[in-house]
Amino acid sequence: MNLAAATNENLANISNVLIYSSMAVYTLAFLAFIAEWVFGSRSKVGRTAAALTARGADASGPAVTVRSGGSTAVLDKPKVVTRSAAGTRDVPDGPGAAGGTEKGDLYGRVAVSLTTLAFLVEAGGVIARALSVQRAPWGNMYEFSITFSTVVVGVFLGILAAGKNVRWAGLPLVTTVLLDLGIATKWLYTDSDQLVPALDSYWLWIHVSTAIFCGAVFYLGAVGTLLYLFRDAYEAKLARGGEPGRFASSVLERLPSAASLDKFAYRVNAAVFPLWTFTIIAGAIWAGDAWGRYWGWDPKEVWSFITWVAYACYLHARATAGWKGRKAAYLALFAFACWLWNYYGVNMVLNGLHSYSGV
């Protein structure tokens, strides 16, 4: 790359306009997702409660019924209940954010369409930013943030396109994206400019791009984990014979079961963990080229490794009998909190060799 290359201010301004425009469309998508939940069917508590009632008596194991067949005692085949890896109750998934109603489904489809449009507009803004300086568009915190939110939405839409019903994640997704873009444009904005010498490397394309993608997938895993905790508590209350509140009846009942949410979170975290391992290795190789050492206990390096250890512990815990369900979920949220701290806190609070890529 040519460090002396001039910045194309016209493209930089176009990028800014596109980013702000995408925020406007994301806001419309946010309202449409709200409408999907509001106009979806209200309470279907009987769906989960009936399943728990039918299977609740099976808590200590499958019952065996003995009936008389003439002079012979006949043992009825016991009903086997398949339980999730997390040890949660075996209940059906909820009908989704739309609740199975035509009106709710219509708003949900509109929300996804608007999210797709906002994604394309934001992606255009990221590309324009890259073209304005002819380099990778993640040389500072502002660029990292707008690229990160774009990739998060892209991963979400990709999962939807693959036929997986994850529309329940749409509302927290666009809410978080709007928050991320708001912080980026208000406090992290940096004029489009050339890279400092240490960042002018092909490793910028490899190391940072994989870090962004990993963070996007970790985010979706965190959303699934957080919703799992709410849904699990809801199912547990029903299993004890408790009466859920209006919010639980209207919202939590429509989510996938706790077992499904737990499985989703585990699968996405497990799938991207090897790439996060590669990200750290790639960063070490880049550090060796840029600074003459592979590891120097820089805050960014330390917290990247702490994040790796936290996710490694989570994945190990999910395969260990004593650390399933909520305990493992708390560990997964701690791991993502480490990633968030590495994203914001290390760059904005701590001083290190990575501080030049901050605000």
pLDDT tens string 295-328: 888 888 999 999 999 999 999 988 886 677 899 9
What pLDDT score does 210 carry? 96
Strands (E), the chain: 66-69, 72-75
What pLDDT score does 280 carry? 95
The residue among 264 and 295 whose pLDDT is bigger is 264
Tokens of 317: 């815990």
- When pLDDT is averaged across residues 10-20 and rounded to a whole number, the result is 97
What pLDDT score does 54 carry? 58
What pLDDT score does 63 carry? 42
* Least confident segment among 74-88, 150-164, 242-256: 74-88
The residue among 89 and 110 whose pLDDT is bigger is 110
Which three-class secondary structure state does DSSP give residue 74?
strand
In this prediction, residue 47 has a pLDDT band, given cuts at 50, 70 and 90, of low
pLDDT at 358 over 60: no
- When pLDDT is averaged across residues 226-255 and rounded to a whole number, the result is 89
Tokens of 98: 């739309």
In this prediction, residue 264 has a pLDDT band, given cuts at 50, 70 and 90, of very high
The residue among 87 and 13 whose pLDDT is bigger is 13
Q: Is the dihedral of CA 13, 15, 19, 21 positive or negative?
A: positive
Q: Are 29 and 111 in contact (CB under 8 A)?
A: yes
* % the chain with pLDDT above 70: 82
Dump pLDDT digits (tens) for 179-198: 999 999 999 999 988 777 76
Which H, E and C letters describe 210-231, residue by residue?
HHHHHHHHHHHHHHHHHHHHHH
In this prediction, residue 53 has a pLDDT band, given cuts at 50, 70 and 90, of low
The residue among 59 and 207 whose pLDDT is bigger is 207
What pLDDT score does 7 carry? 83
Which three-class secondary structure state does DSSP give residue 89?
coil
- When pLDDT is averaged across residues 75-99 and rounded to a whole number, the result is 62
The residue among 271 and 67 whose pLDDT is bigger is 271
In this prediction, residue 67 has a pLDDT band, given cuts at 50, 70 and 90, of very low
pLDDT at 256 over 90: yes
What pLDDT score does 154 carry? 98
Mean per-residue pLDDT of the chain: 85
Give the Cα separation of 332 and 315 in Å (integer). Answer: 9
pLDDT at 118 over 50: yes
What pLDDT score does 318 carry? 87
Which three-class secondary structure state does DSSP give residue 337?
helix
What pLDDT score does 177 carry? 98
pLDDT at 46 over 70: no
Give the Cα separation of 52 and 331 in Å (integer). Answer: 27
